[in-house]
Amino acid sequence: MNSFLATGALALVLAFCGIGDRIKQMSGGDTGNSGASNSSGTGTAKDTTAAEKPSLTAAQQSIQDGASEVKWDDQGISFKVPAGFAKMDVKKESFNYGSPATGFLIASISVMPDSFPADVSIKATYDSALEQLKQGKYKNVRWLEIDGVKGVEWVESPPEEKDGIRRHQWIAFRKYQGQNQQLNIILSTDQTKFDKQSDAFAAILYSLKAGKG
């Protein structure tokens, strides 16, 4: 399991190489063209000032209706998870549920300085995700607001490795208990199980209650 999480963390870092440069450029006043739309024939991308909100399919709604609520008390956050998503490890800034059979819910909080440019950073995350979309590494990218928090959602394309890890991910910023926080949520499993679990992953992510305070 440790190797699984380490692999996921490494892949995340590699995927977002260049975001720091984007933040520097954008914070200097160059916000670029925020009107980008479809960037590749291999997927879809939507860039709008007002983010979309989750719209569950009938299958996703059914999964969510039958799921159980689990709480991350330190962060005032909750999710609804289907049967089989067992508690693995919950700490103040990390929250892990799942199993090899069902896939994994991995949520983390990163506390940023008050001066950190959250709006610039999330726009840079979106732009970086668009680049991944153009390269065929992501299946789709969009701005998505969950429980009043605007973030960037994407789903990875199938990896080249037959048993490689595939992710459904959402990153956002929020203010909570006086902190400027980045919220990162990853739903993942190996490629052979991803399509089967994709509705469950969406149902879990879209059930997020992000906490107010």
> Which domains, and CATH codes, for the chain?
2-206 (3.40.1000.10)
Amino acid at 34: S
Environment class of 71 (CB within 10 Å of its CB; exposed 0-12, middle 13-18, buried 19+): middle
- Bridge pairing between strands 44-46 and 68-72: unpaired
What whole-number percentage of the chain has pLDDT above 70? 77
Could you say which DSSP state residue 69 is in?
Answer: E
What residues does 209 pair with on adjacent strands?
78
User: Would you state the pLDDT for residue 212?
Assistant: 75
Tokens of 49: 């000032």
Could you report the per-residue pLDDT of 163-178, keeping only the tens digit for each? 899 999 999 999 999 9
List alpha helices for the chain, DSSP H.
Answer: 2-15, 19-27, 58-65, 118-134, 191-206
Q: What are phi and psi of 118, to 5 degrees?
A: -60, -45
User: Would you state the pLDDT for residue 46?
Assistant: 55
CA dihedral 202, 205, 207, 213 (to 10 degrees): -160
Could you report the per-residue pLDDT of 35-71, keeping only the tens digit for each? 333 333 356 655 456 899 999 999 999 999 999 999 9
> What does the angle CA 137 – CA 118 – CA 81 come to, to the nearest 5 degrees?
60
In the predicted model, what is the mean pLDDT of the chain? 84
Tokens of 12: 């995340």
What residues does 143 pair with on adjacent strands?
152
Q: How far apart are CA 189 and CA 7, in angstroms?
A: 12
Judged against a pLDDT cut of 90, whether residue 189 lies above it is answered with: yes
- pTM, 2 dp: 0.80
Could you report the per-residue pLDDT of 67-117, keeping only the tens digit for each? 999 999 999 999 999 999 999 999 999 999 999 999 999 999 999 999 999
Judged against a pLDDT cut of 90, whether residue 207 lies above it is answered with: yes
Judged against a pLDDT cut of 90, whether residue 18 lies above it is answered with: no
